[in-house]
């Protein structure tokens, strides 16, 4: 007997390094990044730049979070190395510049050279 819909989930690894710093932040369904999934739930995808992908950017979400019923805590990466091309939405130049401790290993491919702290860690 099948009680519900079978859903397959996949998440692309956007971390370029195993070392990063994140802090919890509260998000709710009023955020512009909210999408409705196949089950009708309101979620903010992992890798979302918050609070917005612009000069107000503070960090990148570590996980997908369901905000359908109420606000939820989610980890917000505020320091580390990221593959920007693997995020749900690539960072804008303003967002990359605002997140001063986040570096994009693929900054050159994103056209962000000069707006972030570098494109590759030393020795790479």
CA distance 76 to 60: 5
Instruction: Tell me which residue of 33, 14, 17 sits closest to 84, measured CA to CA.
Output: 14
In 13-54, where do the E strands start and end?
Answer: 15-27, 35-36, 42-44, 49-50
CA distance 3 to 26: 32
What string of pLDDT tens digits covers the 124 residues of the chain?
Answer: 567 777 666 778 999 999 999 999 999 999 999 999 888 999 999 999 999 999 999 999 999 999 999 999 999 999 999 999 999 999 999 999 999 999 999 999 999 876 444 444 444 4
Q: For the chain, what percentages of helix, strand and coil (3-state, to nearest 5) are there?
A: 10, 30, 60
């Amino acid at each position: 007997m099948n009680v519900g819909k079978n859903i397959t989930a996949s998440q692309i690894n956007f971390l370029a390094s195993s070392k990063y710093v994140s802090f919890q932040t509260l998000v709710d369904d009023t955020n512009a990044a909210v999408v409705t999934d196949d089950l009708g739930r309101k979620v903010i995808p992992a890798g979302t730049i918050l609070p917005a992908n612009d000069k107000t950017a503070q960090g990148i979400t570590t996980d997908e979070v369901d905000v359908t019923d109420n606000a939820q805590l989610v980890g917000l990466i505020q320091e580390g190395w990221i593959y920007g091309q693997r995020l749900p939405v690539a960072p804008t130049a303003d967002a990359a510049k605002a997140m001063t401790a986040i570096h994009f290993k693929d900054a050159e491919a994103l056209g962000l050279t000069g707006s972030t702290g570098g494109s590759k860690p030393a020795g790479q």
